[in-house]
Amino acid sequence: MRNPALLSIVLTLAACVNMTQVGPGEVPLGDRLVANPGLAWNRLEAPGMGRVELWTRDGFPLDTLRFFLGIREGEPLVEQRGAKDKQVPKFRAGMQEREIVEMFEAAAADAGTVRIDRVAPASFAGQSATRFEYTLTRKGDEVVVKGFAYAAVRDRELFMAVFQAPRIHYFARHAEAAEAVLRSVRFKGAGKGS
Amino acid sequence: MDRRGFLAGCCCGALPGCLTGALAAEGQAWVAPPRLVRPESGTDEGGLWAFVDREETKLRRSRFVLRDRPLNEYLTGIACRLAGDHCPDLRVYVVRTPVFNASMAPNGMLQIWTGLLLRMANEAQLAAVIGHEIGHYLARHSLDRLRDAKSRSAFGQFLGIALAAAGAGGAGSLAQLAVVASAFAYGRDHEREADRIGQELMARAGYDPGEAPRVWSQLLAEIKAEADWVGELERRSVLFASHPHPEERMETLGERATELRRDGMGTGTEPWRRACGPYRKTLLEDELRRRRSGETLALLDRMIAAEPTDPELHYFRGEAYRQRGADGDNARALDAYAAAETFPAAPAELHRGRGMILQATGDEPGASQAFAAYVRLRPDAEDAALFQRYVNR
């Protein structure tokens, strides 16, 4: 369950969810990455999140910074309720950059109407990566959100980070801080300039 | 889920619904009822309308409604040809959701989903589906449902679900729609009656009634193709549990088509293509993102059979194979891109698809060449920068 709103509701009800302040300063991201945010963020801590981390500045319905920390061969980006196995695209280590974006598109299309606005080469956590931007009209609440993401493959695993917020007000308010966090991400043991 | 959802709407109506026009005994002409008047607010039917009115208010504001005037006027025109005197009571909403569905609420709110538009080959096919929905409306089947309900509270719950599904969030409520389909679908008699009225309306409007059974056979072919692909066949039995057997419906519609067919009836294929053409690329992109490869490929095969020289359709077939990625799909995709390229005005994106396959199969020079063609033809593409990098290597 990687829908942050739903996840936070469910887990709050179950009284086993925690929001922890992270940053400013060095913050571990899963086992293998480290970020160095210049500002304080809130991190959702809950059981069953697997290799996903959710951060927010103003709260989850408003802005979400989502980290996928090592999607492995054969795993989907998100689980799609009601879909059969063959109807859900899975990560392959040999996937091309545009295919990773297509995998994201299929997952996003499950949540609404999505448009990819830009895809370009980039660097993420010291790896050759892809950066893309998108616009999504969510079918649940009909809010138009904008987002951007970085995706890189290392050791046959996908590392991806996605920032998303409503197009009105919240995207502009936090996009720069989110970019700064993502620029600071590196693999443990790697030098800052790597 | 999607399939059950669309059947809920297409074949039962998301909001069960409603009539008074006498459906004459077999063999006699059906007489349309007079225009429906807004029921008194204190009645059960009045409550039903009030409920649906609120949903329509939300739908009217929905971001998922396509508001382009020419398309809306065109579709309203088709609905009006079918509805005749009831035309002023209908309001058409085109909802951007890549699922086969149409539904008509008792107050005259008629929803047409874009997945349905994409799948109809001509005006007559759309008329078959809309005619069926208008049949439920004219026959006031939803009121029967309301009064038949053993428990009012159960029906209230049903309404909540049905209206959430049919309403503004509409697009987001496919799962709920499926619940409605399984728990509160119209009965078989209502479906048969709506089939009959719909086909009569089609014929009266001058549409070839033989397109009605064709809608069903197309649909079944898609469902079967998807079931074959995902390796699951039992969906069909769940799907049609509350309906007459699709084969029976097809057969009945086919027989009646023979009786109803007259000289001069048409399918309206050319005006349909002209009106829907500008939206087709977007709707096919939405279709691809569903990742229902079986359905999508069956749909594209059918579209290509009807328009074999349309390069865009061959391109999308290539994309469907490339994204499916089963054994032999790379070769099928390359064939489809090559077919697209033989026609004028082929989409530049075919070069991107070809490059991606060539790169995956280790043909770096071929991939670079294809990517170069793509960025040369579409320097403004959203992903041009990504492929420019390969060209520069």
- Residue-level pLDDT at A80: 82
Q: Does B167 score more than 70 pLDDT?
A: no
Chain A residues with CB inside 8 Å of B291's CB? 83, 87-89, 106
pLDDT at residue number B30: 82
| A193, part of any domain | no
pLDDT band at B380 (very low <50, low <70, confident <90, very high): very high
CATH number at residue A40: 3.40.1000.10
* Rounded mean pLDDT, B100-116: 93
Candidates B382, B387, B389, B390, partner chain A, best to mutate (most A CBs within 10 A) = B382
Q: Please indicate whether, in this complex, the C-beta atoms of A86 and B169 are within 8 angstroms of each other.
A: no
Interchain proximity B383–A121, CB inside 8 Å: no
- Of B286, B6, B5, B296, the closest CA to residue A115 belongs to B286
Q: What mean pLDDT is predicted for residues B213-237?
A: 83
Q: Which of B18-27, B36-45, B201-210, B272-281 has the lowest mean pLDDT?
A: B18-27
Interface predicted TM-score (ipTM) of this complex, two decimals: 0.90
**Contacts of residue A82 in chain B, CB cutoff 8 Å?**
1-2, 175
How many other C-beta atoms lie within 10 A of the C-beta of residue A7? 19
Give the best residue of A142, A143, A145, A146 to mutate against chain B (max B CB count within 10 A): A142
At B159 the pLDDT is: 57
Q: Sorting pLDDT into bands at 50, 70 and 90, what band is B245?
A: confident
Which of A6, A73, A84 should we substitute to test contact with B (largest number of B Cβ atoms within 10 Å)?
A84
* Min Cα separation B187/chain A (Å): 26
SS (H, E, C) chain A: CCCHHHHHHHHHHCCCCEEEEECCCCEEECCCEEECCCCCEEEEECCCCCCEEEEECCCCCCCEEEEEEEECCCCECCCCCCCCHHHCCECCCCCCHHHHHHHHHHHHHCCEEEEEEEEEEEEECCEEEEEEEEEEEECCCCCEEEEEEEEEEECCEEEEEEEEEECCCHHHHHHHHHHHHHHHCEECCCCCCC
Query: What value, to the nearest 5°, has the Cα angle with vertex B309 and ends B307 and B311?
Result: 105
* pLDDT confidence of residue B178: 43
Residue B169 sits at the chain A interface (C-beta within 8 Å): yes
Q: How confident is the model at residue B186 (pLDDT cuts 50, 70, 90)?
A: confident
Ordered by where they begin, the domains of chain B are 2-260 (no CATH), 281-392 (1.25.40.10)
Q: How many CB pairs under 8 A join A and B?
A: 82
Range of the domain at A14: 4-187
- Judged by average pLDDT, the poorest of A80-94, B15-29, B61-75 is B15-29
* pLDDT band at residue B44 under the 50/70/90 scheme: confident
Q: Do A98 and B356 touch (CB under 8 A)?
A: yes
Partner A contacted by B385 (CB < 8 A): yes
pLDDT given for residue A90 in this prediction:
96
Domain-embedded: residue A122: yes
Beta-carbon separation of A85 and B230 below 8 A: yes
- Residues above pLDDT 70, as percent of chain B: 80
Counting as low any pLDDT under 50, the low residues of chain A are: 1, 193-194
Closest CA to B215 of B258, B171, B254: B254
Taking an 8 Å cut-off on Cβ atoms, the answer to whether B169 and A114 are in contact is no
Indicate the number of domains in chain A.
1
